[in-house]
Amino acid sequence: METDETNLPLPPTRCRDTEFRWGERTYVMGILNISPDSFSGDGLGDDMAAIVSRAKRLADEGADIIDIGGESTRPGAQPISADEELRRIIPAIERLAVEISVPISVDTYKSEVASRAIKAGANMVNDVWGLKRNPKLAEVAAGAGVPVILVSNQRDNPGRYDIMIEVISSLKKSIGLAESAGVAGQNIIIDPGIGFGKSAEQNLAIIRRLAELKALGKPILVGSSRKLGPKGDRKLEATAATVAIAIARGADMVRVHDVKEMVTVARMSDAIIRKGLSEF
């Protein structure tokens, strides 16, 4: 009888002092935006006291890792130079590396920014272009031995056909770039890229069909926070729905703004799907 490789347990991913043991529970990545023009309006700019306070609160609320970004990825945002990105994030990473116990991820697609961020204390790289804007970033991650998140981004080439086929094809190319540069297999995490060049219908289809990504044999991160659903003040409820359904479809990690609320959603979802969690 042939073994269904999509159901085999994934090897754990080491990040700082944390070991992500995929399949045991859903991990929560808290978002810390330092860019002044964040799409969700939560950018902290240069306010170091606010940055440290927010990071500590996210950790206290249950974040397993904190993702720091210095360049907005909202649609239409203007790119910034590597020097400006470094000016924004390096002091924050250096400070948080000693102030908080959870690992730090840096949200960047620039190899020089990733390299400096890792030296400053970052433990993971989150590349919203899946190594396609700057393949050298893979060499940086491989050399440092840190995990890398590969995002399927359709902004340069909007999906016109079956969105999941296009997302899977995109992620396969990104995985190939990472592996060719020497990134260890257990250090590759994939993200279908909710909101990155997809229509509302395509975003919903990705969540509905998320289990198809299991064929790639990598942990799956979903970043749907505040991106889908009605306009106005109902984004929290909409995000909760997308997080719960993504977990049911196979998400291993969720990237969220509202950590306290989404930790509860994740734990309840895990209690139903993975069973046996004592707190529920």
User: Would you please indicate which residues are annotated as catalytic (active-site) residues?
Assistant: 227, 255
Degrees to nearest 5, angle at CA 240 with 237 and 96: 110
**In a 3-state reduction of DSSP, which class is residue 87?**
helix
With the CA atoms of 177, 199, 249 and 187 taken in that order, what torsion angle do they form, in degrees rounded to the nearest 10? Answer: 20
Degrees to nearest 5, angle at CA 10 with 58 and 265: 35
Which burial class, exposed, middle or buried, applies to 275 when counting CB atoms under 10 A from its CB (0-12, 13-18, 19+)? exposed
Return d(Cα 8, Cα 35) in angstroms, integer.
39
Structure tokens at 151: 């995002």
Place of tokens 């606010």: 50
Question: DSSP string of 210-277?
Answer: GGGGGGG-S-BEE--TTTSS-SSTTHHHHHHHHHHHHHHTT-SEEEES-HHHHHHHHHHHHHHHT---
Amino acid residing at 198 = K
